[in-house]
Structure 1
Amino acid sequence: MKQLVVIIFIAAFFISSDLKKTRSSTLINPSYKTIHAFVALCDNKYQGIVPVPPKIGNGQDLNNNLYWGCGYGVRTFFKKSKEWKLIKTLKIDSVKLERLVFKHLTKNYYLIADAYDGRYIKKCTQDFLNSCAGKLKDSIQLENITLGIYGNSKMISYSGHDGLMDFKLDEKFENADSKKRDCIILACYSKSYFSTHLKTANVNPVVWTTGLMCPEAYTLHNALSGYVNAETNEQVRTRAALTYSSYLKCSEKAARHLLTTGW
């Protein structure tokens, strides 16, 4: 009898595990596409950055953070956008401080933006890379539809300090499902530091960088404006470069050199 109970328990465990693995992808509404944006909050204390004013460089303060609550932060900039509508705000945990869900006003796209506490930039980077490789997948329920997030997204982006300049990641980010995902990485020298990990993840790098940059939200916003309209990588990259040039008051040539596409 005890042996039978053990067998039933083991079988139930594996069935449950299989359901957890498939649940996040089988129920997703295929008519809606998702973009998952990972944002590592700017943090003077826990990141190897040139210090910014303390109020905007507190990686535990969502509302005043340079990359989230400030005027050019993801939350504020996208909330003011004429292309996206904020439909849900969620508090997640002590690592992911806030999740925003936006709906595009004319296209069947949803944007899920996660703000990571700045001290957990390594976790943010790992989650981004595992999503790119299809190793991390999940879904969220929104009214009557199920949306794919992490590796179930069509586009995955990262904005913030390039933590790979400060720490090493020993794990491998090999593609887990033969799907090629699009990605945007707005961080300093992101092509140099992320390429080794992303080669095995089998991604399509739509926009990434070759030098120092300011990863504020306008670049991501305008790049996505082209992306949701099915523009080519080069067209999206051009949008990003022109936007960066305009906001940072640098030459278009310099912005094009900084923001590149493909391998």
Structure 2
Amino acid sequence: MKGIRILFALSFLIFGSFTLKADNQGINKKTKTIHIFVALCDNKYQGIVKVPEEIGNGQDPENNLYWGCAYGIKTYFKRSKEWKFIKSEKLNSIVLERVVFKHITEKDTYLVADAYDGRYIKECTKDFLSASSGIEKNTIELNGKTIGIDGNAGLISYIGHNGFMDFNIRNKYVNKDKKKRDIIILACYSKLYFSKHLNSANVNPLIWTTGRMAPEAYTIYEAVNGYLKKEDNEKIRERGAEAYSKYQKCSKKAARNLLVTGW
């Protein structure tokens, strides 16, 4: 996957409106970025409970449950009054769409979300883990401003099916730069499955899960609001739980038991 990113980085320099750079060159220290990795829901290539065909096609981001539907990342943030939609672009055959938003009131605050073809959920998971541990750090140029992505983002999130229920990853994700990154993982049983891959990554889990869940956008949306207000882990987790309780019509106690924080 790293090789693919380098190849497409060269193409962006020539053709794209997103310019990809290595590491953290030129990032303003005041600029904040949230980077969300979304593995598109996929009936065919993932071991999920089947959803209606139209929203479970992992090669069609526009209609996908986790992206283009009402509670998908792209649509939910695009309809928000707190975020301004800046740009959308297809990156390659694996990352079918990248969207960038800028916060309306929080200066120099951006949200970057990548929609991975559902058949490449393993690559999406690896990229999230590499970013969380600081192994992979990149930037993009957007309208003359350098924005940190991957390990250069302050908050990094994974949204989608828990692929560890279907496959194993043998890579080791050991933090290289001593920087602690905040993470949110909205996938079924994410604490149980992801913790062993992140125990050397020096991350701060704001929210991850203890059971089965619907990884829709309202949970991370409210958690991000708390993150930008510099709330502590417990308050951020409470925001996420309240949103999940509201939209999933479950008790707040059940939502709090599902969405947990820290190690």
Query: Would the TM-score normalized by the shorter structure come out above 0.5?
Result: yes
- Superposition misfits of 4+ residues, deviation over 6 angstroms: none
The answer to whether structure 1 residue 151 and structure 2 residue 166 are counterparts is no
| Counterpart AA for 1:50 | V
Report the secondary structure of 1:25's partner residue: coil
Q: Distance in 2 between matches of 1:123 and 1:23?
A: 19
Q: Distance in 2 between matches of 1:26 and 1:59?
A: 34
Q: 1:29 offset after TM fit, Å?
A: 1.6
Q: What does the per-residue CA deviation read over 1:84-114, in whole Å, with 9 as the maximum and x for residues that have no partner?
A: 1111111100000000000011113100000
The aligned residue for residue 54 of structure 1 is 53
The aligned residue for residue 39 of structure 1 is 38
The aligned residue for residue 139 of structure 2 is 139
Structure 1: gaps spanning 5 or more residues: 1-21
| Counterpart AA for 1:47 | Q
| Counterpart AA for 1:243 | A
Q: 1:24 offset after TM fit, Å?
A: 3.0
Q: Distance in 1 between matches of 2:133 and 2:211?
A: 24
Report the secondary structure of 1:200's partner residue: coil
The aligned residue for residue 13 of structure 2 is none
Q: Distance in 2 between matches of 1:151 and 1:23?
A: 11
| Counterpart AA for 1:62 | P
Q: Is the 8 A contact 2:55 2:69 kept in 1?
A: yes
Q: How does 1:69-148 map to 2 (within 5 A)?
A: 69-108=68-107, 109-148=109-148
Q: 1:23 offset after TM fit, Å?
A: 4.5
Q: 1:144 offset after TM fit, Å?
A: 2.0
Q: What does the per-residue CA deviation read over 1:170-211, in whole Å, with 9 as the maximum and x for residues that have no partner?
A: 010000111100000000000000000111111000000000
Report the secondary structure of 2:231's partner residue: coil
The aligned residue for residue 67 of structure 1 is 66
| Counterpart AA for 1:226 | G
Report the secondary structure of 2:129's partner residue: helix
Q: How does 1:159-198 map to 2 (within 5 A)?
A: 159-198=159-198
Q: Distance in 2 between matches of 1:38 and 1:192?
A: 19
Report the secondary structure of 1:36's partner residue: strand
Q: What does the per-residue CA deviation read over 1:142-188, in whole Å, with 9 as the maximum and x for residues that have no partner?
A: 11210010000000000000001110000100001111000000000
Q: What does the per-residue CA deviation read over 1:29-65, in whole Å, with 9 as the maximum and x for residues that have no partner?
A: 2111101000000000000000001110000011110
Work out the percentage of aligned pairs sharing the same amino acid: 62
Q: 1:26 offset after TM fit, Å?
A: 2.6
| Counterpart AA for 1:200 | S
The aligned residue for residue 26 of structure 1 is 25
Cα distance 1:231–1:132, how it changes in 2: closer, same or farther (>3 A)? same
Aligned residues: 242
The aligned residue for residue 227 of structure 1 is 227
| Counterpart AA for 1:178 | K
Q: Distance in 2 between matches of 1:176 and 1:45?
A: 36
Q: How does 1:3-14 map to 2 (within 5 A)?
A: none
Report the secondary structure of 2:61's partner residue: coil
Cα distance 1:23–1:119, how it changes in 2: closer, same or farther (>3 A)? closer
Q: CA RMSD in A?
A: 0.9
Cα distance 1:175–1:66, how it changes in 2: closer, same or farther (>3 A)? same
Q: Distance in 2 between matches of 1:182 and 1:157?
A: 8
Q: Is the 8 A contact 2:25 2:139 kept in 1?
A: no
Q: What does the per-residue CA deviation read over 1:116-152, in whole Å, with 9 as the maximum and x for residues that have no partner?
A: 0000000000000000010011100011210010000
| Counterpart AA for 1:100 | V
The aligned residue for residue 9 of structure 2 is none
Between stretches 187-196 and 84-93, larger displacement belongs to: 84-93
